[in-house]
A and B are shown apart, each in its own frame.
Chain A
Amino acid sequence: MLRFKINGKDYEVAAANHRKVVDLIRYDLGLTGTKEACGVGVCGVCSILLNGRLVSSCIMLACQVDGAEITTIEGIAAPDGELTPLQRSFIDCGGFQCGICTPGQIIAATALLAETPSPTEEQIKEWMMGNLCRCTGYYQIVDAIQSAAEQVA
């Protein structure tokens, strides 16, 4: 039995040790906000926070999350649905189009702002280069992160 928390909620599940965390989250627990694309840990689409650290859930195994606290995109907004400044900025700045990479982008940017509340443009690019987006050319994602950082600062 694996025990862990996702978005503050306790889970106790039976899963094979080699079950990928992204599959555990999406298909065993039904939290489909986390997406999967490359399957090899390079595109950032499946990003989650594991004990506050940014990780790719497509290359993590279920046994690695025993006892952990996980945050997925479903746990970013307040329980009443109020968006974080970052989520709001992604909407206002046009930081997504199709939206498939957006959960991962927001998770990654949330981790960035937790570590560096007022990042420079260069720091944003350095941090976010692990999150591919095929729609936006990234410009409006950078705008969104800068805008959110300014609002919180």
Chain B
Amino acid sequence: MPGYQAVGQPIPRVEGFVKVTGQARYAADFALPGTVWGKCLHAPYSHARIVSIDTSKAERMPGVHAVITGRDTRDGGLWGRAVKDAPPLAFERVRYYGERVAAVAADDEDLAQAALEQIDVEYEELPAVFDPFEAMRDAAPILHPDFNTYVGFKLKHTTPSNIHHHSHLERGDVEQGFADADVIVENTYVTQRQSQGMLEPQSILVSIDPSDDRVHLWHCNKVPYFIRGALAAAAGIPEERIVIHPTYIGGDFGNKGNSRLTPIAYYLAKASGRPVRMISDYTEEFLAGNPRHHVTIQLRTGVKRDGTLTAHTVNHVVNSGAYAAFKSYGTIAGANEAAGPYRVPNSRIDSTFVYTNTVPGGFMRAPGEPEGVFAIESHIDEVARRIGMDPVAFRMKNLIVEGDETAFGHVLHDVRARETLQAAVDASGYNDTKPPHVGRGVAIGERGTGAGEGTVEIRLLPDGRAIIGTPMFDQGTGTYTTIAQVASEELGIPADRFELEVWDTDELESDSGLTGSRGTHVNTLAAFEAAQLARRDLAQTAAEHLGWPEDEVEFSAGQAHRRDSGEVIGWEELLARSGQTIRARAHTVAQRSHRTSFVAQVAEVAVDPETGEIRVLRYTTAHDSGVVLNPLGYQGQVNGGFQHGLGYALMEELVVEDGRVTTLSFGDYKMPTVRDMPPLTTVVLESAQGEGPYNIRGIGEAPCIPVAPAIANAVEDAVGVRIRDLPVTAEKVYQSLRM
């Protein structure tokens, strides 16, 4: 970008050294004298009444320091993000196979496991329901008879129900729209549960220090200020008594916004009087984590022969699992996305969230959006084929342009849907001739940039040190580097010169944390404002200590300048002479705009007609963007997001059979390896339209969104088989080819 020194440069990670030498410390790497291990007992029923729990044998074992059950955690209330419906440990009732029912703290992990085996739980099995449509029937077993007493839900039941959220939107005259159509196309799409698959499982160390009576946490969590408040409320203590210490976070993708272990580890620490470490093993992550949801999306679309859309309806049914607590807002997106960024005058969108006796769903990278976009972008291809139009031409005719209202009733800003799709088509060779059994598919999605509050401090010291202070616990997306780049840009100090100072939660009242593609937007804004304060203070220091006239001093490129005499002095020398420390802290609240960013992708696949095997030959992803702050980091987000989408499209499935997760290790749950990644072409459509002082946009979530439908569309193009339930496996293609 013209005029920038640091912004736009591929500056490597400022925390690189500690990450390549093993010095970066994650939650599981901390220990205190006397630390004991906590472990949970998991329920062997999908739905059952807990008749009794006898912990006496476990308690008597030497080396066991505490045994707790739902009786010990219930006084703290139910747990959750926006909605609170999950007991930390099951109380009176278990609602899914694998739910945590008791926990122990013992001298070591093996002993903790042995103690769990000595806990006797008597269950009375209850009828269970696993399918969301069955769970909506009148006779279905009710998971939450006390739903109306729960905190955070908008819905109130007049008769018992498993539905915890419903929304309805209607535009225009839908029935008339269908009456005006030449063709009506109706399809149902189903998406599978996907694990976040971060390679650091949930881990926590809790210590209640008798010397200061404070609760200390080391916890792989990206929203520490939320956790502090939630734990304070549950424990019935003031927030000030809790401090969460910084750690690196070993992958997030939505998983590290929740906090299943936090209250359990706290109660174990309280009961045992010892620091307690809990680390989920990966079996527990799969069995009792919070995966991306199982969603069913029914779409019905009216279209004229010339490709004009007349009506579109969405029935979006989310299998919430046993609890809604682990969705940051109690719900996920996807219903609007299944309506799509298309011009259609008449639309109806229903979205229903249903409890079932299955593992509770949670947030995962662009929560709900890959699900919704798999449906609409598969369906749009099917509609195009039914009226004999090319899928790209059909999209080009119907995609919104600036000023249009979407099918979900929003007017988005700086719309470049068609340009982005065209860029993907051009870069991919979409229209080139291809051999038999090779197919190409397109898909498009969009995602806005997140917002929230952030704080950055820049400190410049007389000894020449430059320090950046931040409340962010790094989960890998590069926030420290982008903050340092902004400080570098504004102050003329190389980015790698800054030392990082990551604060514990005593430092601030609140902070939004790193979620929802907000990190770069919020934190670069805060860094920019902190840098402006530092520049002002440096100019004032020059005026005070050098006797320069205050209105003749300005600061740029690492130096104070005196305009009338042309004198300059570097910041280090200035502070060395003055002996002063510059301490510039900015707290900002970034607002969410109506601007969105499109992502259009083209998959090219070869399908073996004998076996159904799918090989992705090459892949193209085009991104509608603002100014790219750091091309190295931006490309990393694109690459990683594509990998999530590829796994979602082709291989990843948290299989649930009879209500029970059966893919309980990375041997069964397949994630892409380096061998699975096809050649990837990335096209970036930079623009001067974006958020904050540098016109940037978020990139963390968009790349994963359209991958699955692009691949499903390519498979149909290759061998004429349409797969409407993810993942698109060789087995499904093989079966369909033989039908």
Contact = CB atoms under 8 A, between A and B. Distances in A.
A18 to B, nearest CB: 9
Contacts of B475: 98
28 contacts: A23-B109, A35-B199, A38-B665, A39-B281, A39-B282, A39-B665, A40-B667, A83-B17, A83-B20, A87-B20, A91-B12, A96-B476, A97-B477, A97-B636, A99-B19, A100-B26, A106-B20, A126-B675, A129-B675, A130-B673, A132-B666, A134-B196, A134-B198, A134-B643, A137-B639, A139-B635, A139-B639, A140-B635
Contact of B680 (A23, A27, A100, A139): A139
A92 B12 contact: yes
Contact of B22 (A43, A74, A133, A140): A74
A146 interface: no
A142 interface: yes
A125 B667 contact: no
Interface residues of B, number: 60
A135 to B, nearest CB: 5
A98 B252 contact: yes
B539 to A, nearest CB: 35
A100 B198 CA distance: 9
A139 B632 contact: no
A134 B636 contact: no
Given A137-B640, A141-B674, A100 B250 contact: yes
Contacts of B10: 94
Contacts of B132: none
Given A91-B13, A100-B199, A42 B667 contact: yes
Contacts of A93: 632
Interface in A40-58: 40, 42-43, 45
Q: Which has the most chain A C-beta neighbours within 10 Å: B15, B197, B474, B640?
A: B640
Interface of A: 23, 26-27, 30-40, 42-43, 45, 72-74, 76-77, 81, 83, 87, 90-94, 96-103, 106, 124-126, 128-142
B654 interface: no
Interface of B: 10, 12-13, 15-26, 28-29, 31, 109, 196-201, 248-253, 281-283, 474-478, 632-633, 635-636, 638-644, 665-667, 671-675, 677, 680
B198 to A, nearest CB: 6
Contacts of B477: 97
Contact of A37 (B22, B282, B643, B680): B282
A38 B640 contact: no
A33 B25 CA distance: 8
Contact of A45 (B21, B199, B476, B639): B199
Nearest to A130: B673
A36 B203 CA distance: 11
Please list the 9 inter-chain residue pairs (A to B) with the smallest Cβ-Cβ separation, ordered nearest first. A33-B22, A98-B476, A100-B250, A137-B639, A99-B19, A91-B16, A73-B22, A32-B29, A97-B476
A38 B23 contact: no
Contacts of B13: 91, 94, 96
B20 A96 contact: yes
Contacts of B197: 134
A87 B666 contact: no
B311 to A, nearest CB: 39
A36 to B, nearest CB: 8
Contacts of A74: 21-22
Nearest to B279: A36
A94 B671 CA distance: 21
Nearest to B256: A98
B21 A129 contact: no
Contact of B476 (A36, A81, A99, A137): A99
Q: Which has the most chain A C-beta neighbours within 10 Å: B477, B639, B677?
A: B639
Given A128-B674, A137-B680, A139-B639, A34 B22 contact: yes
Contacts of A135: 251, 476, 636, 640
A142 B673 CA distance: 12
Given A26-B28, A94-B10, A134-B643, 18 more contacts: A32-B25, A32-B28, A32-B29, A34-B22, A37-B199, A42-B665, A72-B22, A73-B21, A74-B22, A81-B21, A98-B200, A98-B249, A99-B19, A136-B639, A137-B638, A137-B642, A137-B643, A142-B674
